[in-house]
């Protein structure tokens, strides 16, 4: 498992590559969070340790890029400050009129990477302290990604936040085990891989899959 230092190396690599590779690129890096700020978060003891380690050094970061000024090819990473992540996501994640069981569950869902207006990646903030991240397409249900925050950062270093790269993880996380070398079967992910190979410098699908295999959370027994 990667160390705290490699978390910072991976995210710094992402920032550096995005700055070099793209014409239209915005980068913002948050200052470190303080212990007094963490103390204001409800049940801060439930926050995964790898997230605490990261946000103590860098309280979120934002990267937005386009392949060129007129292109629709784009990427975005919006790792929110930890105070925002563990705040109230009413009127974004939920609205209060949904079925009771669904509402109770989604009130614990916290957005970590708000990478698109209509979708995000987050986790459930509960006493179970499950660190696994989930993909959430607003209006549908959440889908597990098979990685925690530490693994997610490692994979970001490969994709530079290319729009909807997380869909690769949904196919890799599918119940049917995939063979290696891996090639996507769904048309949407096939198109996604083509875009990554064309627009993200040095993207190597099998290297990405190997990193995913290395950081993937163990499957529950």
pLDDT reported for residue 187: 93
pLDDT for 17 equals: 65
Q: What percent of the chain has pLDDT over 90?
A: 58
pLDDT tens column, 71-123? 678 899 999 999 999 999 999 999 988 889 989 999 999 999 999 999 999 99
Query: What pTM, to 2 d.p., does this model score?
Result: 0.88
User: Mind listing the pLDDT tens digit for each residue in 57-70?
Assistant: 889 889 888 876 66
Three-class DSSP labels, the chain? CCCHHHHHHHHHHHHHHHHHHCCEEEEEECCCCCHHHHHCCCCHHHCCHHHHHHHHHCCCEEEEEECCCCCCCEEEEEECCHHHHCCCCECCCECCCCCHHHHHHHCCEEEEEEEECCEEEEEECCCCCCCCCEEEECCCCEEECCCCHHHHHHHHHHHCCECCCHHHHHHHCCCCCCCCCCCCCCHHHHHHHHHHHHHCCCCCHHHHHHHHHHHCCCCCC
The whole-chain average pLDDT of the chain stands at 87
Is residue 55 scored above 60 in pLDDT?
yes
What pLDDT is stored for residue 1 in this prediction?
41
């Amino acid at each position: 498992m990667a160390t705290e230092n490699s978390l910072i190396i991976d995210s710094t690599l992402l920032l550096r590559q995005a700055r070099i590779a793209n014409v239209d690129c915005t980068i913002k890096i948050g200052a470190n969070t303080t212990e007094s700020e963490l103390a204001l978060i409800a049940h801060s003891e439930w926050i995964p340790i790898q997230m605490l380690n990261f946000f103590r050094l860098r309280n979120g970061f934002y990267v937005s890029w386009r392949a060129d000024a007129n292109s629709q090819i784009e990427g975005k990473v919006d790792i929110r400050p930890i105070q925002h992540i563990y705040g109230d996501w009413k009127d974004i994640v939920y609205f209060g009129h949904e079925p009771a069981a669904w509402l109770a569950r989604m009130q614990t869902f916290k957005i970590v990477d708000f990478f698109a207006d209509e979708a995000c990646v987050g986790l459930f903030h509960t006493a179970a302290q499950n660190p696994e991240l989930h993909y959430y397409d607003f209006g549908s249900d959440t889908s597990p990604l098979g990685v925690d925050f530490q693994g997610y950062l490692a994979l970001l270093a490969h994709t530079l936040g290319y729009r909807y790269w997380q869909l690769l993880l949904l196919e890799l996380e599918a119940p049917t085990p995939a063979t290696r070398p891996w090639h996507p079967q769904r048309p949407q992910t096939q198109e996604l891989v083509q875009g990554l190979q064309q627009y993200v410098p040095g993207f190597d699908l099998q290297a990405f899959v190997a990193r995913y295999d290395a950081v993937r959370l163990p499957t529950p027994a």
